[in-house]
Amino acid sequence: MPRAVREQQMMDAAVRTFGQRGYRAASMDEIAELAGVSKPLVYLYLNSKEELFTACIRREAQALVAAVQAGVEVGAAADRQLSSGLGAFFAHTASNPDGWAVLHQQARTHGEPFAAEVAAMRDEIVAFVTGLIGAAARETHGDSDLLQRDVAGLAQALVGAAESLAAWANDAEGVSAKEAAATLMNFAWAGLGNLMRGERWVPSSR
**Phi/psi at 198 (5° precision):** 70, 10
Q: Is residue 44 at the binding interface for DNA, with CB under 7 A as the rule?
A: yes
DSSP string, 114-166: HHHHHHHHHHHHHHHHHHHHHHHHHHHH-S----HHHHHHHHHHHHHHHHHHH
What is the Cα–Cα distance from 41 to 163, expressed in whole angstroms? Answer: 35
Residue 120 interacts with, from a second copy, DNA, none (CB under 5-8 Å by kind): none
For residue 102, the partner it binds in a second copy, DNA, none, with Cβ less than 5 to 8 A by kind, is none
Binding mask 12-31 for DNA (x = CB under 7 A): -------------xxxxxx-
The single-letter DSSP state of residue 174 is: T
Residues in the site for a second copy, rule: CB under 8 A? 22-25, 76-80, 83, 101, 105-106, 108-110, 139-140, 149-150, 152-154, 156-165, 167-169, 172, 174-175, 179-180, 182-191, 193-195, 199-201, 203-206
Q: How far is the CB of 206 from a second copy (least distance, A)?
A: 4
CA 132 to each of CA 68, 106, 127: distance values in angstroms, whole numbers, following the listed order: 13, 29, 9
77 lies in the site for DNA, by CB under 7 A: no
Least distance from DNA to the Cβ atom of residue 14, Å: 11
Contact 42, 3 (CB under 8 A): no
Whole-number Å distance between alpha carbons of 122 and 31: 27
Contact 42, 28 (CB under 8 A): yes
Q: Which is nearer to DNA, 112 or 199 (CB)?
A: 112
Residue 33 interacts, among DNA, a second copy, none and using kind-specific CB cut-offs from 5 to 8 Å, with none
Instruction: Return d(Cα 92, Cα 60) in angstroms, integer.
Output: 11
Cβ distance 197 to 142 under 8 Å?
no
Q: Which listed residue (12, 33, 34, 43) binds DNA by CB under 7 A? A: 43
Q: Which does 50 bind (CB under 5 to 8 A by kind): DNA, a second copy, none?
A: DNA
User: Based on CB atoms, which residue is closest to a second copy, 121 or 185?
Assistant: 185
Q: Name the site residues for DNA (rule: CB under 7 A).
A: 1-3, 6, 25-30, 37-41, 43-44, 47-50
